[in-house]
Structure 1
Amino acid sequence: MSESQIPLPERLRPRDLSEIIGQEHLLGEGAPLRQMIDQGHLPSIIFWGPPGVGKTTIALLLAQAVDRPFISLSALNTGVKELREVIAESGDLLTPVVFIDEIHRFNKSQQDALLGAVEKGKITLIGATTENPSFEVNSALLSRCQVYSLNALSNEAIESLLNKALQQDRFLQERQIYIDEFDALIQFAAGDARKALNLLDLIASTFEPEQDNHVNNALVVRVAQQNIARYDKSGEQHYDLVSAFIKSIRGSDPDAALYWMARMLKGGEDPLFIARRMLIAASEDIGNSNPNALLLAGECFRSVQVIGMPEARIILGQCAVYLATSAKSNSTYLAINRAMDLAEKTANLSVPLHLRNAPTKLMKQQGYGVDYLYPHDYPEHFVMQDYLPPELKGTKLYESARNKREVEGERLQQRRWQQEQQQQ
């Protein structure tokens, strides 16, 4: 294979940790991973971060830095049998570093097989995941690993990476490429080094060698749009597809929601990832306009766990159509965000005495719980009293959307408002 046939990200793959662009919080002077390597120590690690930020490369270079054998596996095509064979063979090696890409796709039995090997020191595990490991990696295995978050590359880091490619790659040098505008390249990359380099490689392939070839925003957009299938050959549309899926649900378009879901499933997306995103959408975009949406999405998630593919597609499809055709409201989403902001700014405010719990005689003597009015002792189980600190009296965080269910829930709020007006 000629050098030009090797993808640019592979041609430019760092050979040393010092060549890594970005992740200074882990690899910079005095940072955690740098200190480990300086001490010749490498524990089991879980790397959590978006695609194209260097998880695989850093794992390989860490193994090389401590002079350990490196075994790379993908959770997509490694079963328990293959995993146990690798662990068994590792007994003849110097504690190998076993890298598991997309470790969040391992089921419980696969993770349990890893756990025993990690506990006995037969392997040093480095797992990579784009999903929150707190939800996707079992607690026993997680407790034996250091978890480090990797960040999407900054715009400056992407620009630096592209300039480095122009300076170091022979294929690009032959085409005498000059980048006049970085904006579109950075936008399409979206913090993903692999995307940035693949797109530059794609553009370079349209140029003739030994000519002055200039890259501007218009050219980048045209080439990227004309070659989107090739550009995303590594499954890098992950975040674009799920964004389109969620926005189709939010926009009440069941056809589009089903289409983007099918695209994700055909591309090998984890069905539980899709189910989890629908759980979020059921609360964020539908909320109390139709509380059953959250119940159905929760049942969808549990059912997909039990059923698995290919039948899980039917359950996912049913839920997607239900959410897309449901009434929409983001009122509670906005309300909790306002509440979180307010709580951060007013964390010093005390709980009013009448709302405090009074389990002891001393607390009662100090006024805890005094003057609290028990709503069930009053007509229609309602009585007017203040529930916020005095400093926040009158604060309104929740604004109901204009739909049947939430308008019905406004009854008590309207009564509270009327009584407040009467007291003024």
Structure 2
Amino acid sequence: MNAPLAERLRPKTLADYISQTHLVGNQGILTNQIKLGVIPSMIFWGPPGIGKTTLANIIATESGRPFYTLSAINSGVKDVREVIDKAKQSGGLFTTKNPILFIDEIHRFSKSQQDSLLQAVEKGWVTLIGATTENPSFEVISALLSRCQVYILKPFEKTDLESLLHRAIKEDTILSEKNITLKETTALIKLSGGDARKLLNIFELIINAEATNDIVITDKHVLENVQNNTVRYDKTGDQHYDIISAFIKSIRGSDPNAAVYWLARMIEGGEDPKFVARRLLILASEDIGNANPTALVIANNTFQAVSTIGFPESRIILSQCATYLACSPKSNAAYMAIGEAQQLVKETGDLSVPLDIRNAPTKLMKELGYGDNYKYAHNYEGGFANQEFLPEEIKHSKLYDPGNNARENAHREFLKQRWKDKYNY
């Protein structure tokens, strides 16, 4: 039986690897490490289907190291220890050829499972490469994280995915026997969500549905075939990224019915409850913010409770939080404000802090005028003193625009009363 297209097309060398030039280009960090023969333990953080597993395999091959792999979904502490024992026997201590232990979805490892890796990494028995779609700062214990380099794998660009399709047509032993014309690629790329593995699975599905060797790929053709074979093209398990998107958009759209439906889909599919709770925590600030500050408090408490309790009881807590957030007034003002501020920083660079609001802990700083003319707000009527806090070059910038809701309308009036024209939105 033929292997899937995604497996047949899996790159074997750095030269065949698509994208991630900051890591594997001519001057990439990993390229240089492989050349030097010194491979540190590392965590690959990036979206699904971006090539984390493939890259780990390539590093092992090109550095001439034994390669062991575990999946955090179905491996326990016993499995980790068995692999480490094998690795110790196949590689010398502290040599440049110590084995590589690759752990897929390392964010799903418990604390005890991650603890079982510490000594092996610290002693140099193995070089650990972990792969995660989640922020390792939240999901990897600090002791392990401090012993690893974190490398971010960037999402594929449209051109990368199109190149992959053309490569499949040209180089794959099966597809190259057919006369395939890529007339349109928008539907393929949109359905893949930037996931290269999913893209190739869908592409292969479309090709296999044809009885002829002369095939023209159009967006209409793709959509018709995918709609008729939904279960088949979702078999990779990446559907949960589509479902979490539907879940978040339902809450943002103030639809609690849809929110609990998509929540139930994730629960029945065995989703990690902390994954859901973390998304709720982000949403509470990004999409509700100051329109209802209590939303962030409830979302944070939900995350803490879910982390302590787990399933099945966590489903009730997640449902309470999801419906509460769905029924909350919405505002993305805080989200937009920090985005505007970051863009302003990129455009204006490292502007000096005004002298009057600088700290003056030393005599010299006081003599240089640090803190002169600073108005201590509590000494003024209403606890407010009209003073400029931005650098001179950007003093008229407006970054926070309160949303149109009861709480933030009150913020708007508060700012207008104190700052007059400066906050006259």
Say yes or no: TM over 0.5. Answer: yes
| Whole-Å separation in 2 of the counterparts to 1:395 and 1:91 | 60
| Whole-Å separation in 2 of the counterparts to 1:260 and 1:81 | 35
Q: Does 377-386 or 221-230 show the bigger shift?
A: 377-386
CA RMSD of aligned residues (A): 2.3
**Aligned position for 2:136:** 133
CA deviation digits over 1:160-180, x for unaligned, max 9?
221222223343245433222
CA deviation digits over 1:124-164, x for unaligned, max 9?
21111112222222222122223222222222222222122
| Whole-Å separation in 2 of the counterparts to 1:24 and 1:377 | 56
Verify: 1:81 aligned to 2:72, yes or no: no
| Whole-Å separation in 1 of the counterparts to 2:422 and 2:250 | 42
Q: How does 1:318-329 map to 2 (within 5 A)?
A: 318-329=320-331
| Whole-Å separation in 2 of the counterparts to 1:98 and 1:46 | 12
Verify: 1:232 aligned to 2:234, yes or no: yes
| Whole-Å separation in 1 of the counterparts to 2:260 and 2:409 | 31
- Structure 1 residue 347: Cα displacement: 4.1
Secondary structure of the residue aligned to 1:177 is strand
Amino acid at match of 2:407: R
- Structure 1 residue 219: Cα displacement: 0.5
**Aligned position for 1:373:** 375
Verify: 1:334 aligned to 2:331, yes or no: no
Amino acid at match of 1:17: L
Secondary structure of the residue aligned to 1:184 is helix
Secondary structure of the residue aligned to 2:416 is helix
Q: Does 240-249 or 402-411 show the bigger shift?
A: 402-411
Of 107, 111, 114, the match for 1:111? 114
Instruction: Flag as ranges the 4+ runs of structure 1 deviating above 4 A.
Output: 418-421
Q: Any stretches of 5+ residues in structure 1 without a counterpart?
A: none
**Aligned position for 1:180:** 183
Verify: 1:265 aligned to 2:267, yes or no: yes
| Whole-Å separation in 2 of the counterparts to 1:317 and 1:367 | 56
Classify 1:403/1:71 alpha carbon distance in 2 versus 1 (closer, same or farther; 3 Å).
same
- Structure 1 residue 187: Cα displacement: 2.6
**Aligned position for 1:202:** 205
Amino acid at match of 1:98: L
Amino acid at match of 1:8: L
- Structure 1 residue 98: Cα displacement: 1.4
Amino acid at match of 1:103: I
Q: Does 38-47 or 312-321 show the bigger shift?
A: 38-47
- Structure 1 residue 411: Cα displacement: 3.9
Q: How does 1:57-72 map to 2 (within 5 A)?
A: 57-72=54-69
Amino acid at match of 1:71: Y
Q: Is the 8 A contact 1:175 1:208 kept in 2?
A: no
Secondary structure of the residue aligned to 2:318 is helix
Secondary structure of the residue aligned to 1:30 is coil
**Aligned position for 1:157:** 160
Classify 1:240/1:80 alpha carbon distance in 2 versus 1 (closer, same or farther; 3 Å).
same
Q: Does 169-178 or 218-227 show the bigger shift?
A: 169-178
Of 142, 147, 152, the match for 1:144? 147
- Structure 1 residue 266: Cα displacement: 3.1
- Structure 1 residue 220: Cα displacement: 1.0
- Structure 1 residue 348: Cα displacement: 4.6
TM-score normalized by the length of structure 2:
0.90
Verify: 1:293 aligned to 2:295, yes or no: yes
TM-score normalized by the length of structure 1:
0.91
**Aligned position for 1:27:** 24
**Aligned position for 1:253:** 255
Secondary structure of the residue aligned to 1:409 is helix
Q: Is the 8 A contact 1:48 1:133 kept in 2?
A: yes
Amino acid at match of 2:217: V
**Aligned position for 1:399:** 401
| Whole-Å separation in 2 of the counterparts to 1:229 and 1:186 | 18
- Structure 1 residue 404: Cα displacement: 1.9
**Aligned position for 1:354:** 356
- Matched length: 417
Classify 1:363/1:87 alpha carbon distance in 2 versus 1 (closer, same or farther; 3 Å).
closer
**Aligned position for 1:122:** 125
- Structure 1 residue 418: Cα displacement: 4.2
Q: Is the 8 A contact 2:359 2:370 kept in 1?
A: yes
Q: Percent of aligned positions with the same letter in both sequences?
A: 55
Secondary structure of the residue aligned to 1:268 is coil
Classify 1:314/1:392 alpha carbon distance in 2 versus 1 (closer, same or farther; 3 Å).
same
Q: Is the 8 A contact 1:235 1:267 kept in 2?
A: no
| Whole-Å separation in 1 of the counterparts to 2:233 and 2:421 | 62
Secondary structure of the residue aligned to 1:92 is helix
CA deviation digits over 1:171-202, x for unaligned, max 9?
32454332222232223233321111101110
| Whole-Å separation in 2 of the counterparts to 1:278 and 1:42 | 37
Amino acid at match of 1:143: S
